[in-house]
Structure 1
Amino acid sequence: MKKFIIGLGVILLTQNLHAQTDFKYPFQNPSVAREKRVENLLSLLTAEEKIGLMMNSSKAVERLGIPAYDWWNEALHGVARAGKATVFPQAIAMAATWDVPEHLKTFEMISDEARAKYNQDLAENNVIKRYHGLSFWTPNINIFRDPRWGRGQETYGEDPYLTTQLGLAAVKGLQGDDPKYFKTHATAKHFAVHSGPEWNRHSYNATVSRRDLWETYLPAFEALVKEGNVREVMCAYNAFDGEPCCANNFLVTDILRTRWNFNGMVVSDCGAIYDFYEEKAHASHPNPETAVAAAVKHTTDVECGNSYKNLTQSLEKGLLKESELDTSLKRILTGWFELGMLDPKDANPWSKIPISVVESQEHRSQALKIAQKSMTLLKNQNQTLPLSKSIRKVAVVGPNADDGIMQLGNYNGTPSYTVTILEGIKKKIPNAEIIYERGCDLVDPSSKTSLYNSFLTEKNGANGMKVEFFNNNEFKDKPSAIVFNKRGINYNNSGGTQLAQGLNRENTSTKISGIFKSPIDGEVFLAPVASDGYSLYVDGKELLSRKGGNASKPTEVALKVEKNKEYSVELKHIQKGKQITIGFDIYRKYPLNFAAVREKVKDADAIIFAGGLSPNLEGEEMMVNAEGFKGGDKISIDLPKVQRDMLSELKKTGKPVIFVLSTGSALALEQDEKNYDALLCSWYSGQEGGNAVADVLFGDYNPAGRLPVTFYKTLAQLDLALTKNSADKQGFENYDMQGRTYRYMKESPLYAFGFGLSYSDFKYGKAKISTKKLKKAEGLNIEIPVTNQSKRDGEEVVQVYVKRDNDHDSPVKTLRAFKRINIAAGKTEIVKLEINPESFYFYDEKSGGLISKSGKYTLMYGGSSDNTALNIIEIEVK
């Protein structure tokens, strides 16, 4: 309590120091109208100062009291890359909750933590570092059109309506409800038609029909702009119809600015403007000055990167007028004032949020609740689950069982703790015998046991390795950052992120060192992973050296060691390219023995296999080349073979096998279904994930998560459908929607969009609707009776779909309303939903957009998009 009072005193003192009654310039006076403040400040800036304010690392204008600021901040599922923060389940997991009110509550907490960090930085240092600001590049509302995309985990799934509703809640939670000041800025990204592949995103040109553009790729963006008043939009790396998205006349100038009247900031993805003139990327412009001029003319206001420094040449060569800079500057400066960053702190209600909210007990409890709500039970043969808490012996097997890093997903913060699946199970059944066997790796067919925890940062030091980052290639001068890493070495700058606070994105070097105290006699393997040149030393002797390096192909070297002997290890990495990947591990290695694992667990009463994927395999522009993976994406959507073989061996025990699947994307599991009795998809479940898994496995929580994506039977099922409908392009690079996702898929998937099991049993009655004949631009109301036929309270997700009849190009069905509701055992609830007028809007070629279409429609309602689970009502729009 004393610490809190002192902290609050610092904030109040800072507020008093900032309170002013005399202002030198009108822009400094909060009582002056915002538009006039913007005009005044704009008139005082030189051209160079304006350019300095248009890059994500915005330069200070000291003579006017404008501090340096970085627009780059992340909050995908918690404040990211800014130290301690509550880590909620990954975005795709939050989508699996189908719970808009709880999603809003989660993002209100996230923005509380963001403001608290900002307030503390101002009070203590009067400096805001990158990732500690108020402008968050969240949410990712791209459509997860193909399960191969590695960044699909960042989205809300494959459906435009579900994405819209969750996206609106995220924006509202981030931006707040104060009439004068925004709590933070939210950003709708990546605009538009962007969902992989990762490996060629800097050169890829997406082409889709206008119908797919308007009915699938744009609805969520339009809603966040028009309904959500989102203050920033991020343009994508790829091109659309031959023009890079960040200078795309049709997307940005025509649709976003003119048709939708978006008056907020457009910010580029990181390095996207560089791609305009990079020979191996789009190469759409001959040089930097023409590239940056084109971006500004197409209203990309803030550049993430350093290409906008070339705007000086653009002005000098007459490629751009200063008045065109002013157009962008007005939107940027408006953002400063909207967030209150130039105002006295006592004028802003958000400045009073204390640092104590960060990872508070309330926020931890919410992380657990969202993880519980996201748990998606897909198979429960013979009611294998829930397991009894009086169970005698349980075997926990698998590469994800004790991996807390996996649970954090990508774009994550750093929690003070993470409860793994193994830890959650141990806490749930403290009196049972737990047999733990890692069993196998995620992908590697050999077995490895990491010995990283045997490292000390220095002789007699703390556990871990010391990592020193330098802003040069020579390891000279004082390190820009020093990190003591206890968890393992895995650094990359995918998406343009810094490897460490204060480190440049180019021309860096990294030194990783530690003392390895061997816990064994025998042979260990040292495995550096490096995108550029590196050298590995043990006791001063160089064991490995690479001039270029290749991060997709890690190198390992054997080392004979003696138990308890200490070895000095040093890895030096020199950056040459823009993409940096640095990894290092030390491990024992031996052949897998599935039969031996089976023998160890055969006497268990139940076997829990924790497997699936990891954000180290799927994610943003990753240098990964494991079998079935490429550049962060998946080539195959099968479960990796080593895990399939492990499951098969476990099934031979004859004991119930429960597969807990951690993943950020759908997998094709048809061939593996015979090898497990229950399947629980836990996604990347955040810091409380292990507790949530255990709660479901042992019946303390009744699962109600629903799939936000389709689980196809096989990849062939998807690609054959695409091939049938599009002869010119096949597979992952095909952005056409025909044959893709539940909306256009005519085959039966393994698990349908919207599907999920419960320990309760629900029955749908006959619905009532307000009218069966609608006028154009009208909606309707529907009342659906749902009965819980079981003896256990449970939650059901009621879903309503609409199909436009006699239109062969329209979706098979499209989600138009849903509600997650708790229904007591034996009770019936009347679920009331509104089907809004836009539910009957479809693409019209003549108008070039969506309009209300007359004709016959089929209204479908139930607990899944699967036709067998849906009831039907015929309606008509006149």
Structure 2
Amino acid sequence: MASSPPIIFVTSIFLISTLAFAQEVKPHNDTSPYEKAPFACDVDANPEFAKFTFCDQKKPIDERVADLVTRMTLKEKIGYIKSSSKEVERLGIPYYRWWSEALHGVSTTGNGSEFNSARNISGATSFPMPINMAASFNVSLFYAIARAVANEARAMYNVGQAGLTFWSPNINIFRDPRWGRGMETPGEDTLLTSVFGVAYIKGLQQPDDNNPEKLKVAGCCKHLTAYDLDGWKGYSRFTFNSVVSKQDLEETFNPPFKSCVMEGQGASIMCSYNKINGTPACADPDLLKGLVRGQWKLNGYIVSDCNAVQFLYNRHDYAKTRIEAVAMSVNAGLDLDCDHESYVGKFAHSAVNAGLLKVPEIDRAVTNNMKTLMRLGFFDGNPRKGIYGKLGPKDVCTPATEELARETARQGIVLLKNIRETLPLNPTNIKSMAVIGPNGNATRAMIGNYEGIPCSYISPLQGLSASVKTTFVRGCNVTCEEPILDEAKKAAAAADATVLVVGGSTDIEDEFVDREEISLPGEQEKLISEVSKVSKGPVILVVFSGGSMDVGFANTDNNIKGILWAGYPGQHGGVAIADVIFGRYNPSGRLPVTWYPREYTQYSMARMHMRPNKTSGFPGRTYKFYTGPTVYPFGHGLSYTTFDHQIVSAPKVVKLNSGKKGNPKSVDASGRACKKSTFEIRVRVKNTGKMAGGRPILLYSTPPPVHNPPQKMLVAFDKVFLKPQEQAVVKFRVNMCKDMSVVDEQGNRKVAVGNYKLQVAKLNHTLEVRR
């Protein structure tokens, strides 16, 4: 993929007053563990630590870890393979909480991080949700956000308010629009999700160039694998059996995790609750030891989703006893048990005594865990004396990180509809505006789930009212059982323009909360239609959601001039929405998911197959396989300017050095054919309009009809920012085996022989692949 453009920041030309914290801080019941004990190997606090090899920073990490593990008793080792790890006082190892989250900023979820206004840091930058980040199609932005989050995380660690291990990002494929956690992901496309995961992991971890073993914080890619159902019509993620073909596993579900480990060098993988073809993920040695540790060569630890080990016994009925559940998971390759009841802590010793679990397996697990902490500097003494020691409260919620949050929200907004170029609105021509809808003055709803305490909030109402006199009518709450129409219609009839801010919140889509419908919640559609009939001026619809919403009725309503998808745009989403509506920012986002019509919900969410089935009438999933009508397709997104695309150069033929044996229709993508299968495509992009703007350039391939392939697949993408009449050439280096291979029915990657259709915008190019 071509290198990413620099992040372009657009600063609002008006001042916005910030909102004081509207959330209550969630304090932990006990004192911070980081205040109770000295830092590991703090020789200034205790010179005795200097005698330990594991405290000698000049020694190789593997030697230090081996020394540490040999000094620990079995009881002490077991205490450090559970997520609330017990202190080892005689060795000066403090208590440690592994579970922190950093999905889109340091989070209150988990017990490893805490905000406390009575101490040092009471909030952190709350960026837009990953689904918004992905809509920017800007890799440099993904990386910059993760770097900013890592800085704030380290600052919090230095003052005793966070750990160093963060269980983010979520790189599951957003397979079905009803999934409540889809907002946490980069969307439905395997390439986009993989690229996002690698960039985010690298931004969090930031290995030292001089010593790549050193990490700033440790990321974790989750949830492995085929996990994208929480609670739908009697199905539960805790017991769900994902029946998945080898083809779909290799083609759709596993690639982001493989990229996370092999390209991103992620320090951790989390195994999921569900079964995969009958075997729980956290008890599957072929998955954990064979694939993750063996083939992908994970340099780090494997952690269970929280309580997944005990669920082997009391939910899946896979283990006959609690002791067997612990033995199964550790023997399968699990290193760390996230468990509120600490199954490993309670039953691992009994598993050893029963002969079900060998001590070397525990040694392996604690070694992987301690090595990760060693790479993070946990055993280097006082962190304030380390390479990140200067980070502190002054480095959290800085003007730069808050502007980065606003810019991310701007780049993630997608313009879905714009009749007769009604948008952008000119604030000098509009003297009054009606802001209507359940999310019109949203604060908490803007930041989605796995949230922290934001630095501040700027709601849509605040953002819009900074430029135009506004009247706000909520109309109804998000679930919208009974909209109050009279007041809303009166406001719209009197205003020069109406902005309806509707859609979802964590009330209708969240962890544990899958949707059964993908239309707007409750009577929101009625509220919108009734208001649009009487509005004096143009009506603009702004939709909050993680998954797709069927707004087809609004797309065909001529009274609704523009539609924006805002996702869950973070703490300052109101600024971004106002900047787009008033033309201070030219929207450049594209949908990272297909928007299906509401009839799609007739098909079972529990069906894991990706491809359509003519016999049952199932139309398939995601843009790669879905054959039905769409409200908006994957990659859709309008701009206030126009762009011209031209393929400058692309090969017509690519010859694979594969010999003459084997299947004449495809060749092995891992063989010698891959050594000389890279080529370059150049695309010239020109801004032919009158407004500067960004443009994601998406390169698709339609492969030959071999092995029942996708009907279309994203091969590469990049983003350019161009002034009016400016042009640029985007270069894509494409490897046939890595980027354009398909997966056969046995789960093997193949390069199909024949004609491929390459597509950029409306341009098509035929590429012939020969043996």
TM-score, normalization by structure 1: 0.75
Give distance in 2, aligned partners of 1:346 and 1:613: 42
Aligned ranges 1:127-526 → 2 under 5 Å: 132-178=162-208, 179=211, 180-198=213-231, 200-278=236-314, 281-305=315-339, 306-309=342-345, 310-344=347-381, 345=383, 348-390=386-428, 391-429=430-468, 433-446=469-482
Higher RCO (CA 8 Å, separation ≥ 6 residues): 2
- What SS does the corresponding residue of 1:184 show, helix, strand or coil? coil
2:626 maps to which residue?
A: 745
Gaps of 5+ in 2: 1-37, 109-113, 116-122, 612-619, 657-672
The superposition leaves residues 675-727 of structure 1 with CA deviations (integer Å, 9 ceiling, x where unpaired) of 42211111111111000000000000000011000011x132475xxxxxxxx
2:757 matches 1:858:
yes
2:754 matches 1:873:
no
Aligned ranges 1:536-615 → 2 under 5 Å: 592-615=483-506
Shift of 1:845: 5.1
Give distance in 2, aligned partners of 1:216 and 1:767: 31
Shift of 1:445: 1.8
Give distance in 2, aligned partners of 1:364 and 1:99: 18
Q: Counterpart amino acid of 2:510?
A: G
Equivalent residue in structure 2 for 1:663, among 525, 545, 550: 545
Shift of 1:674: 3.3
2:654 matches 1:773:
yes
Aligned ranges 1:603-752 → 2 under 5 Å: 603-621=494-512, 632-654=513-535, 655-675=537-557, 676-712=560-596, 714-717=597-600, 719=602, 730-738=603-611, 739-752=620-633
2:148 matches 1:112:
no
Distance change >3 Å, CA 41–CA 415, structure 1 → 2? same
- What SS does the corresponding residue of 1:732 show, helix, strand or coil? coil
Q: Check conservation: 1:401, 1:611, Cα contact below 8 A.
A: yes
Give distance in 1, aligned partners of 2:479 and 2:764: 42
Give distance in 2, aligned partners of 1:640 and 1:409: 17
Q: Counterpart amino acid of 1:134?
A: L
Give distance in 1, aligned partners of 2:480 and 2:641: 39
Distance change >3 Å, CA 358–CA 321, structure 1 → 2? same
Equivalent residue in structure 1 for 2:742, among 842, 865, 872: 842
Shift of 1:596: 4.0
2:721 maps to which residue?
A: 822
Give distance in 2, aligned partners of 1:811 and 1:268: 32
Q: Greater CA deviation, 56-65 or 641-650?
A: 641-650
1:503 maps to which residue?
A: none
Distance change >3 Å, CA 346–CA 74, structure 1 → 2? closer
2:92 matches 1:65:
yes
Q: Check conservation: 1:718, 1:740, Cα contact below 8 A.
A: no
Shift of 1:100: 0.4
Q: Check conservation: 2:757, 2:764, Cα contact below 8 A.
A: no
- What SS does the corresponding residue of 1:874 show, helix, strand or coil? strand
The superposition leaves residues 199-256 of structure 1 with CA deviations (integer Å, 9 ceiling, x where unpaired) of 5001100011111110111111111111111010000011101011101133222221
- What SS does the corresponding residue of 2:644 show, helix, strand or coil? strand
Gaps of 5+ in 1: 1-10, 122-128, 447-591, 622-631, 720-729, 863-868
Shift of 1:877: 4.4
- What SS does the corresponding residue of 2:605 show, helix, strand or coil? helix
Distance change >3 Å, CA 355–CA 595, structure 1 → 2? closer
Give distance in 2, aligned partners of 1:825 and 1:765: 17
Distance change >3 Å, CA 877–CA 256, structure 1 → 2? farther
1:79 maps to which residue?
A: 106
Give distance in 2, aligned partners of 1:368 and 1:261: 37
Q: Check conservation: 1:206, 1:240, Cα contact below 8 A.
A: yes
- What SS does the corresponding residue of 1:377 show, helix, strand or coil? strand
- What SS does the corresponding residue of 2:134 show, helix, strand or coil? helix
1:531 maps to which residue?
A: none
Give distance in 1, aligned partners of 2:46 and 2:411: 45
Q: Check conservation: 1:398, 1:437, Cα contact below 8 A.
A: yes
Q: Check conservation: 1:214, 1:843, Cα contact below 8 A.
A: yes
Shift of 1:856: 2.8
Q: Counterpart amino acid of 1:333?
A: M
Q: Check conservation: 1:779, 1:839, Cα contact below 8 A.
A: no
Shift of 1:751: 1.0
Shift of 1:770: 4.6
1:456 maps to which residue?
A: none
Distance change >3 Å, CA 203–CA 16, structure 1 → 2? closer
Equivalent residue in structure 1 for 2:82, among 28, 36, 55: 55
Shift of 1:436: 1.0
Shift of 1:302: 0.4
Q: Counterpart amino acid of 1:300?
A: L
Shift of 1:19: 9.2
Give distance in 2, aligned partners of 1:828 and 1:229: 36
Q: Check conservation: 2:593, 2:622, Cα contact below 8 A.
A: yes
Give distance in 2, aligned partners of 1:15 and 1:601: 65
Give distance in 1, aligned partners of 2:72 and 2:731: 55
The superposition leaves residues 838-871 of structure 1 with CA deviations (integer Å, 9 ceiling, x where unpaired) of 113222456x532444333221112xxxxxx343
Distance change >3 Å, CA 822–CA 316, structure 1 → 2? same
Q: Check conservation: 1:106, 1:366, Cα contact below 8 A.
A: yes
More strand, by proportion: 1
Shift of 1:21: 9.5
Give distance in 2, aligned partners of 1:119 and 1:594: 52
Identity among equivalent pairs (%): 34
RMSD: 2.0
2:23 maps to which residue?
A: none
Q: Counterpart amino acid of 1:377?
A: L
2:22 maps to which residue?
A: none
Give distance in 2, aligned partners of 1:22 and 1:615: 48
The superposition leaves residues 382-415 of structure 1 with CA deviations (integer Å, 9 ceiling, x where unpaired) of 2121111111111100010111000011011111
Q: Check conservation: 2:652, 2:767, Cα contact below 8 A.
A: no
Q: Check conservation: 2:715, 2:740, Cα contact below 8 A.
A: no
Give distance in 1, aligned partners of 2:630 and 2:707: 21
Q: Check conservation: 1:192, 1:251, Cα contact below 8 A.
A: no
- What SS does the corresponding residue of 2:698 show, helix, strand or coil? strand
Distance change >3 Å, CA 370–CA 794, structure 1 → 2? same
Give distance in 1, aligned partners of 2:760 and 2:242: 34
Give distance in 1, aligned partners of 2:708 and 2:601: 18
Q: Check conservation: 2:707, 2:743, Cα contact below 8 A.
A: no
Shift of 1:673: 2.4
Q: Counterpart amino acid of 2:766?
A: I
Q: Check conservation: 1:34, 1:334, Cα contact below 8 A.
A: yes
Q: Check conservation: 2:755, 2:766, Cα contact below 8 A.
A: no
Distance change >3 Å, CA 40–CA 650, structure 1 → 2? same
Shift of 1:18: 5.5
2:668 matches 1:784:
no
Shift of 1:346: 6.8
Q: Counterpart amino acid of 2:228?
A: S
Count residues in correspondence: 680
2:119 maps to which residue?
A: none
Q: Greater CA deviation, 293-302 or 381-390?
A: 381-390
